[in-house]
Amino acid sequence: MTVRTVAMLTAGGLAPCLSSAVGGLIERYSEVAPDVRIIAYLGGYAGLLRGEWVEVTPEVRENAHLLHLRGGSPIGNSRVKLTNVADCVKRGLVQEGQDPLHVAAEQLTKDGVDVLHTIGGDDTNTTAADLAAYLHENDYELTVVGLPKTIDNDVVPIRQSLGAWTAAEQGSIYAQNIIAEHSSNPRMLIVHEVMGRNCGWLTAETARRYHAWVAEQQFVEGFGNDPRCWDVHAVFVPEEHIDIAAEAERLKAIMDEIGCVNIFLSEGAGVAEVVEELKAAGQEVPVDPFGHVQLDKVNPGAWFAKQFGAKLQAEKTMVQKSGYFSRSAAANDEDLALIAQCTSLAVDSALAGVSGVVGHDEEQGDTLRAIEFPRIQGHKKFDVTVPWFRELKESLGQA
């Protein structure tokens, strides 16, 4: 097919790859197909439905490399599910009686778009899959190529999502300051809540990087500068059952000995228990347009802090959340290399008319390819049996 106009959008929550991925796509098209027109829909799928877009000018192409230095998204995000008609109507994105998929397809046709690049997580790309299927069934000629963005690293069957490595690194940096708070009060409990709805990879990788950082530092141990006070003492992820009574007994012994306890907690750990408690109290459980429990509103970190705070006889309890700090960072060198690989193939796939989500396919020998949309799923579980995680927990004394 002849590609004349390419559109892109970023959607869902932020991740440390969006700005760089946009820049990478612009750079790659400018290199291999400089005559292709590029536009960007503003605010994700909301901008697509509203027909709000900007054109990539020659000046933007010339300065696209600067986008690798920034976090966030230069073209804005939103959480919109095109098959959730009621939500789209409620938000004024479509009129009553309109099908958002049809509105999106018509807008793409009106704008003369031959290729759409979607940069987002599992919700973004499953929405892209819905759109691609609708386009195919209704004879719209359009190639849709997605890029996997999620700091949770939870997209099936993709080995590594863009931005996840950076988010873990930034979570460790966040903890390096926050855990100094252990010295602000006797018997101090710090809960570091890390993003991760159904996947504990980010919490585990953040804890691994932070634990390694502690091991590299020098401390004045004879002057109240005990490295044990700086270290992480427990890591809780959604994939493992948390025996609160047993862990509280273990952690209380640590509290009694050194006067503080530091927990790294995935925000998705124990959500079922929190939701059950809310329902029992007759409270409404808030959900987003995709039907997910809104974790920032049910606040699992506070719930766990309450449970452990009492059992550890903590004098002061602090819950600190690194998610927004981590996800808004600029991509690190690890992610920049991965983004370069993926954006390059995304453009090549688009020019060849091959739709899919670009990533290393775990079900096909980790080959970097455009993975078929019907195979894309969210909520990939973190494998808690991987050696590095078992070694981490053993080094923390956590069974």
Confidence (pLDDT) at 233: 98
- Percent of the chain with pLDDT strictly greater than 90: 78
Confidence (pLDDT) at 289: 67
Q: Does the structure show a pLDDT above 90 at 379?
A: no
User: In which band, very low, low, confident or very high, does the pLDDT at 290 lie, cut at 50, 70 and 90?
Assistant: low
List, for residues 344-376, the tens digit of each pLDDT value.
999 999 999 999 999 999 999 999 999 999 899
Confidence (pLDDT) at 291: 67
User: How far is residue 17 CA from its own chain's centroid?
Assistant: 10
Confidence (pLDDT) at 298: 65
d(CA 258, CA 91) in angstroms, rounded, equals: 52
The secondary element (H helix, E strand) that includes residue 305 is helix 300-311
Q: Do the bridges between strand 367-371 and strand 356-361 make them parallel or antiparallel, or are there none, so unpaired?
A: antiparallel
Q: Does the structure show a pLDDT above 80 at 219?
A: yes
Structure-token pair, residue 92: 């004024």
- Residues 319 and 117 sit within 8 Å (Cβ to Cβ): no
What three-state secondary structure class fits 386? coil
Residues contacting residue 168 through CB under 8 Å, at least 6 positions apart = 151, 202, 205, 206, 208, 209, 326
Confidence (pLDDT) at 122: 77
Higher local confidence (pLDDT), 125 or 142: 142
User: At residue 320, what is the residue type?
Assistant: Q
- Site of tokens 């309109």: 98
- Residues 125 and 118 sit within 8 Å (Cβ to Cβ): yes
- Which residues are designated catalytic? 152
Mean pLDDT of 136-157: 92
- Site of tokens 């408690």: 277
pTM, two decimals, is 0.92
Q: Do the bridges between strand 115-120 and strand 143-148 make them parallel or antiparallel, or are there none, so unpaired?
A: parallel
User: In which band, very low, low, confident or very high, does the pLDDT at 295 lie, cut at 50, 70 and 90?
Assistant: low
User: In which band, very low, low, confident or very high, does the pLDDT at 399 lie, cut at 50, 70 and 90?
Assistant: confident
Q: Does the structure show a pLDDT above 70 at 278?
A: no
Confidence (pLDDT) at 121: 84
Mean pLDDT for the chain overall? 93
Q: Please tell me the least confidently modeled range out of 53-67, 282-296, 322-336.
A: 282-296
Mean pLDDT of 17-29: 98
Mean pLDDT of 227-247: 94
Residue-by-residue DSSP string for 109-133: HHTT-SEEEEEE-HHHHHHHHHHHH
Counting every residue written for the chain, the total comes to 399
User: In which band, very low, low, confident or very high, does the pLDDT at 91 lie, cut at 50, 70 and 90?
Assistant: very high
Q: Please tell me the least confidently modeled range out of 308-312, 318-322, 377-381.
A: 377-381
